Amino acid sequence: MPSDAHCHPYYLKDFFSDYEQERRILNIQCAASAFSGVEFLHNEELAKKNDAPYLALCFGFHPQMPAYNLVPDFELFEALVREKRIVCIGESGFDFFDKIFTATEALQQILFEEQLNIAKQFTMPMLLHIRRAMHKIFVYRKKLRSLPAVVFHSFSGSVEEAKAILRCGINAYFSFGTPLLCNHKKALRCVIELPLERLLFETDAPYQKLNGASFTSFKELNKVMEKAACLREESSELLINITDANFNNIFRGK
């Protein structure tokens, strides 16, 4: 089954009520991120259903939260970790996309360090959102190296940066979504040149929408993977098999 390394089902429901049905029909296992209690509980309900494809529960504080004055619930976060209700911490990281986000750098740093420390303490993987902030990864390379896995969601760095991250000894995976369909040059090169054993694919549904669309849904995953298979001149089956194994390694511990 194809694996979606990053999505937000709770927000997808606002655009498309049959999203979970679509995921079942397409038989897509996914990693669902949440940053609030209400969002997490929604995802947890989905994950409890035995007749649906696997859903990996992730929780973390998004680096854009300080800019939107959203208060992180650390008590909930620590409870979810201690009660083993999540398998991965994220999405977290740094976002310096514009002046408004960059102005919150100090707060982003506090949020990130707190989550990184917990991930290290509980030996958990992290899923990172890094925009115009690749330099920060190298600042934290020692701690990141101690984590079982680090997923770079919608990786926007260059192939050279990806290789430098791997050379640091970080067990890094690089995930790509609809920017591939829009021919983002750096993403194309990464998908062509990085080993398949380091790649993942994602929708970031409902976000990262294609031109003219109002949202992204699970069906875009197949388009993304077909494009990647075409770029790499490999079969879709091989791509699905290896990226599923990567997903299972990170989120299912197998």
Binding site for Zn ion (CB under 5 A): 204
Assess contact for 22 and 218: CB atoms under 8 A.
yes
Assess contact for 67 and 101: CB atoms under 8 A.
yes
Virtual torsion, Cα 172, 182, 101, 152, nearest 10 deg: -10
Q: 203 vs 246, which CB is nearer to Zn ion?
A: 203
Assess contact for 206 and 11: CB atoms under 8 A.
yes
Assess contact for 169 and 180: CB atoms under 8 A.
no
Q: Shortest distance, CB of residue 62 to Zn ion, whole angstroms?
A: 7
- Give the helix/strand (H/E) hosting 4: strand 3-7
Closest listed residue to residue 228, CA positions, set 198, 203, 179, 192: 192
Q: Shortest distance, CB of residue 239 to Zn ion, whole angstroms?
A: 22
Q: Shortest distance, CB of residue 234 to Zn ion, whole angstroms?
A: 27
- When CB distances to Zn ion are compared, the closest residue is 204
The tokens for 27 are: 């038989």
Categorise residue 205: left if φ over 0, alpha if ψ from -120 to 50, beta otherwise. Answer: beta
Q: Shortest distance, CB of residue 97 to Zn ion, whole angstroms?
A: 13
Q: 68 vs 169, which CB is nearer to Zn ion?
A: 68
Q: 16 vs 164, which CB is nearer to Zn ion?
A: 16
Q: Shortest distance, CB of residue 90 to Zn ion, whole angstroms?
A: 9
Q: 95 vs 204, which CB is nearer to Zn ion?
A: 204
Q: 20 vs 204, which CB is nearer to Zn ion?
A: 204
Give CA 93 to chain center in angstroms: 11
